[in-house]
Amino acid sequence: MTKMKAYREDLSPMKAYREDLSPDEQARFDEQRRADAAHPRQFVNFAFYKLDPAFRRNVPADRRARAVEELAGVIENAKHKFLVYPYSNLGIRPGVDFMLWRISYRLEDFEEMTAAMLRTEMGAYLDTPHSFLSMTGRSIYVDEEGDEAALDARHKIVIGGGQYVFVYPFVKTRPWYVLPAERRMEIMREHIQGGKRFPSVKLNTTYSFGLDDQDFVVAFETDYPQDFLDLVKELRETESSTYTQRDTPMFTCIQQDLRTLLAHVSGVEPK
């Protein structure tokens, strides 16, 4: 049985916690569960880590090199179960050293992986200053064709493989949400058209409503940081930006080989 098939079958016994559902309410609930099973959404986590400098100062180099291998093994083991992408923040932003972009159909996968990381020697020196949790889902501002492949694609993250990724939480003002849907659609068309003028930048938008502090988490992938800078500058001039409440902190991340990344953070020579 494939992981996807097992996941979809696991959704079938989900029950409502109210026992007094009307026939219409029960029908809507059942329909939502069928939709979940047909197009399951992914959990997405951007976890940022900071290594305590005491690890580099107090742990001998040979032990640090072994600790890199130990932690790399734990992360690679997790990659056999779900998607994990490593990025470096070293020397770019104070307070964080590296980021793991994690994508799974099980929220518990993130907890289990983190627990395994903490059991390693290097894990005992790791802090997590920032961690953003979200889920995939379709945007109401993007036209839908409605076919099976298109609907499934909206619920999956497909990493573009850009050398750089720019990540930040995003919160809209409350007045935005009480605008008529047609007005919001009109404003977002201008915003979307602005983004299309930068085809070298791939946007991944995920949704955090109720799961975390922000409304969305956005991750822009590109090989050209200058294009992302120009894109953000241009979007600042759209009407949509007037409804932004918060879009910080912003993180610039460099895609990097896992062992090289951990070696750099640990102060040892990469193998």
**Do 259 and 196 share a domain, yes or no?**
no
Is the pLDDT assigned to residue 154 strictly greater than 50? yes
Distance, in Å, from the CA atom of 98 to the CA atom of 84, rounded to the nearest integer, reads 13
Number of domains forming the structure of the chain: 2
CA distance 128 to 104: 19
Residue 196 covered by a domain: yes
Category of 91 on φ-ψ map: left (φ > 0), alpha (ψ -120 to 50) or beta: left
pTM score, two decimals? 0.89
**Sorting pLDDT into bands at 50, 70 and 90, what band is 138?**
confident
In this structure, the answer to whether residues 65 and 110 fall within a common structural domain is yes
Please indicate, yes or no, if residue 250 is contained in any of the structural domains: yes
CATH number, domain of 47, equals 3.30.70.1030
**Low-confidence winner among 43-47, 137-141, 177-181 (lowest mean pLDDT):** 137-141
Q: Is residue 148 part of a domain?
A: no
Based on the domain organization, do 234 and 100 belong to the same domain?
no
Distance of CA 195 to the CA centre of its chain: 20
In one letter, which amino acid is 204?
N
Domain with 87 in it:
43-134+255-266
DSSP class of 53? H
**Residue 1: HSE in the Cβ half-sphere, 13 Å Cα cutoff:** 8
- The amino acid present at 198, given as its one-letter code, is F
Question: Looking at the structure, do residues 127 and 48 belong to the same domain, yes or no?
Answer: yes
d(CA 195, CA 1): 40
Same domain, 161 and 248: yes
Do 117 and 163 share a structural domain? no
pLDDT on residue 259: 97
Residue 62 in tokens? 């040979």
